[in-house]
Amino acid sequence: MMGKQRVKFTFVSNMVKEPVIYNLGRDFKIITNIRRADVQENMGWVVLELDGEEDEIQRGLNWVSSTGVRVDPVSGDVIDG
Amino acid sequence: MAFVNGLRCRECGREFPAEALNVCDFCFGPLEVEYDYATISEVISRDKISKGPISIWRYEDLLPSDGDDPVDIMAGYTPLIKARGLGKRLGLNNLYIKNDSVNPSFSFKDRVVSVAATKAVEFGFETLACASTGNLACSVAAHAARAQIHAVVFIPSDLEKGKIIGAAIYNPTLVSVKGTYDEVNRLCSEIADNYPWAFVNINMRPYYAEGSKTLGYEVAEQLGWRLPDHVVIPTASGAMFTKIWKGFNEFACLGLLDGVEPMSFGIDQNTAHHPAVTTRMHMTQAAGCSPIATAWNAGQTLVKPVRPNSIAKSLAIGNPADGIYALRVINNSNGSAYAVPEEDIVDGIKLLAETEGIFTETAGGVVMSGLKNLADSGAIKPDELTVVYITGNGLKTQEAVEGVVDPLMIKPTMTSFEEQLSLRQSR
C-alpha cells in the first residue's frame, strides 16, 4: 500500500558528510522530500517526507537506522512524562 | 470564551485554524496557539483571576479553551510553600517550593491534560490517548474517566508499579509495550495517524502544552503579582520549561505584575520577552538523560539525541521536541542547565523529605540536587527570591528509595525496645 511518512533524521559527527538521503532515494523506491534542516559541522538534522510503498519505506528506514543515523517521527519524542 | 485566533507554525509562521493539528504541513514545524491578546487585555484583571475557580481554570482567558465546561479534576492552584528548613540547609533565605505533587493524579500533568481533554471533548473526540512513561498515563486515564470518554494509554512494559496501578485504577485500555521508549514513541505516532483518537501529546499537543503556563501564572500570583529572581525546573522535553517562561512574559505584557507597564507581544507571541521579566531560568536534567543540559554546557544550538539510562524515568526523553526552544529560553533569561549525577538523585529526594516533609519522585530528586548545586556554587545568592518546582509525587517511584526502610526490629517487650533504641542511637 502506498503511503507517506514524516520523519526526522539526526546525524552525529561521523555521519554528517555521508549522502544518506541520496542513497535512500537511489537504493529504495522512495521519494524523499526535504522540508526543513539544520546541518552544522559536528551534527545536524533533516526533517523530510518519504513517499512510497509502506513496506519499502520501512525497509528504507531500517537501513537508515543501521547506518547510525537516528530516525524519529516528525512530532519529536512524544513520550512526555 | 476562548480568545484564540488559530494556530501558527513556530518555524515558518504559517497560520492554521484552531483544529486538532500539531505539525505545519509545509515545513513540519510545531504549531502553537495564537491568541487575541488585544481582547484579552480588555477583559483580564487581577481581580477577575482572584475570584476564579481554585484550579488552572482561574486563568481561562489565557488558555485555549473557555472554562465554562472544562474537564476539570481540580488541577492546579497548588501550594507555594516558604521553605525554611530546606533554605536553612542550603543557605537560601528566600526559597519557595511550588508543590505540584499534590495535584489530583499526583503530578503537574493534570494541568496539561485538563486543557487537552477539554479541547478533545470540544472537538468531538470519544477517545483520549497518550504515550507515557507514567505520570501522563495516570492523568489521561483520570481525565477520561471524569469526561466519561474512553482512554487508551501506552506505556513501556518496564514502568514502575506505582505508575501502572495509578493509571490502571481509572480503567483505561492499558497497552504495555514490550520495547524501548523509542519504539513506544514511534508506534504511537503511527497509531495517531490511523485512529480518530485525541493523543494529548501528539495531535492535541499545541493545546496540551499551554496548560504548563499556569505553573508560571500561579507562582506570580502567589508571590503577590511579582516574579522570582530564579526558578529551578526539572526538564524532559523542554515544553514545560518554555511555557513557564511564556507565562511570566504574558503576565508582564498584559500589565498584571506589580509596577510593570503593559507591552506589545510583537509578531511572534512565543518569543515575546518583556524587559521587566528578569527571572533566571535554571534547568535540571538527570545525567543519564541530559541532552539539553549537555548542549547548553557545550555552547551548542542543536540538541544531540541520547539513549536514556536514568532512574528518573519521567525525565527520560532522549530526543526532546522543545530542546532548541528551551536552549533559547536559558540564553534569553541568563539562566543555566545542570546535569545531576545519577547517584545524587535519591539524595535530593531525601533532602526534600527530611527538611520540608514533602515526598517527591525521582524528577524531584533531580531538581533538588540541581538547586543544591546552584546554591553551593553561588549562582543563587542567599537573599534572592527563588522558586523550585516539584512536579511529581514520591509514592509513584518508591522503588528508587526502598533503601530508606530500616526499622528497629524488636520483640514486643520494653527491654527489647530499649536495647534496639540504644543501638540505633549509638550508630
To 5 degrees, how large is the angle CA A15–CA B186–CA A75? 80
B72 occurs within a structural domain: no
Inter-residue contact B277 to B227 (CB < 8 Å):
yes
One domain, residues B256 and B163: no
B231 occurs within a structural domain: yes
Q: Which residues of B fall within a CB distance of 8 Å from A77?
A: 181-182, 185, 237, 317-321
Phi, psi of B217 (to 5 degrees): -60, -50
One domain, residues B395 and B266: yes
Q: How, if at all, do strands B127-131 and B198-199 pair?
A: parallel
Inter-residue contact B66 to B2 (CB < 8 Å):
yes
C-alpha cell at B92: 537560601
Please choose, from the candidates B15, B95, B319, B41, the residue with its C-alpha nearest in 3D space to the C-alpha of residue A69: B319
pLDDT, chain B, mean:
95
Say whether A81 and B29 touch across the interface (CB within 8 A): no
- Distances in Å between the Cα of B414 and the Cα atoms of B410, B411, B420, B421 are 9, 8, 10, 10
Confidence check: pLDDT of A35 > 60: yes
CATH classification number, A2-73, choose in 3.30.450.40, 3.40.50.300, 1.10.10.10, 3.30.70.260: 3.30.70.260
How confident is the model at residue A78, as a pLDDT? Answer: 60
Nearest CA-CA distance, residue A5 and chain B, Å: 9
One domain, residues B203 and B270: no
A49 interface with B at CB cutoff 8 Å: yes
- Distances in Å between the Cα of A12 and the Cα atoms of A9, A37, A50, B316 are 10, 14, 21, 20
One domain, residues B202 and B226: no
How confident is the model at residue B7, as a pLDDT? Answer: 97
Enumerate the β-bridge partners of residue A49: A6, A33
Inter-residue contact B33 to B55 (CB < 8 Å):
no
Residue of A nearest to B136 (CA): A81
Domain enclosing residue B129, as ranges: 109-207
Residues of chain A numbered 4-33 and touching chain B (CB < 8 Å): 6, 10, 12
How confident is the model at residue A37, as a pLDDT? Answer: 92
**What's the order of all strands across the beta sheet hosting B4-9?**
B15-16, B4-9, B31-35
% of chain B residues with pLDDT over 90? 84
pLDDT mean over B31-36: 96
**CATH classification at residue B222:** 3.40.50.1100
Q: Which residues of B fall within a CB distance of 8 Å from A43?
A: 300, 302, 304
B354 Cβ neighbours under 8 A, 6+ residues apart: none
One domain, residues B198 and B281: no
pLDDT mean over A17-43: 92
Please choose, from the candidates B40, B92, B308, B73, the residue with its C-alpha nearest in 3D space to the C-alpha of residue A77: B308
Taking the C-alpha atoms of residue B352 and residue B362, their distance in angstroms, rounded to an integer, is 11
B18 occurs within a structural domain: no
Enumerate the β-bridge partners of residue B281: B231
One domain, residues B232 and B377: yes
One domain, residues B262 and B156: no
Q: Whose grid coordinates read 495516570?
A: B138
pLDDT mean over B372-391: 98
B65 interface with A at CB cutoff 8 Å: no
Taking the C-alpha atoms of residue B201 and residue B237, their distance in angstroms, rounded to an integer, is 11
How confident is the model at residue B397, as a pLDDT? Answer: 87
Taking the C-alpha atoms of residue B119 and residue B363, their distance in angstroms, rounded to an integer, is 28
- Taking the domains of chain A in order of start, what are their residue ranges? 2-73
- Distances in Å between the Cα of B140 and the Cα atoms of B116, B212, B413 are 9, 15, 49
Taking the C-alpha atoms of residue B362 and residue B392, their distance in angstroms, rounded to an integer, is 8
Amino acid at B390: I
B37 occurs within a structural domain: no
Q: Which of B187, B207, B227 is the last residue of a domain?
A: B207
Split at pLDDT 50, 70, 90, the class of A74 is: confident
A-B CB pairs within 8 A amount to: 95
pLDDT 10s digits, B305-344: 888 899 998 898 888 989 999 999 999 999 999 999 999 9
One domain, residues B279 and B225: yes
Enumerate the β-bridge partners of residue B156: B177
Q: How, if at all, do strands A70-73 and A2-11 pair?
A: antiparallel
Q: Which of B157, B183, B207 is the last residue of a domain?
A: B207
Strand runs labelled E in B219-322: 230-234, 280-286
Confidence check: pLDDT of B159 > 70: yes
pLDDT mean over B151-165: 89
Split at pLDDT 50, 70, 90, the class of B63 is: very high
Output B68 or A6, whichever has higher pLDDT: A6
User: Is residue A46 within a helix (H) or strand (E), and if so which, with residue range?
Assistant: strand A44-53
B33 occurs within a structural domain: no
Q: Which residues of B fall within a CB distance of 8 Å from A47?
A: 27-28
pLDDT mean over B281-285: 98
DSSP state of B171: -
Say whether B28 and A38 touch across the interface (CB within 8 A): no
Taking the C-alpha atoms of residue B423 and residue A48, their distance in angstroms, rounded to an integer, is 67
Amino acid at B140: V
pLDDT mean over B267-293: 96
One domain, residues B234 and B203: no
Split at pLDDT 50, 70, 90, the class of B160 is: confident
A75 interface with B at CB cutoff 8 Å: yes
One domain, residues B239 and B344: yes
Split at pLDDT 50, 70, 90, the class of B182 is: low
Which residue from B135, B182, B302 is facing A38, i.e. has the nearest CB?
B302
Q: Which residues of B fall within a CB distance of 8 Å from A75?
A: 22-23, 189, 192, 202, 205, 321
Q: In this predicted structure, which of A17-21, B100-104, B413-417 has the lowest mean pLDDT?
A: A17-21
One domain, residues B216 and B294: yes
Say whether A81 and B135 touch across the interface (CB within 8 A): yes
Tally of domains within chain B = 2
CA B16 to chain centre: 27
One domain, residues B167 and B130: yes
SS3 for B340-353 is ECHHHHHHHHHHHH
Task: For this complex, say whether ipTM is above 0.90.
Answer: no
Say whether A75 and B182 touch across the interface (CB within 8 A): no
B69 occurs within a structural domain: no
Residue of A nearest to B12 (CA): A36
Which residue from B136, B236, B302 is facing A40, i.e. has the nearest CB?
B302
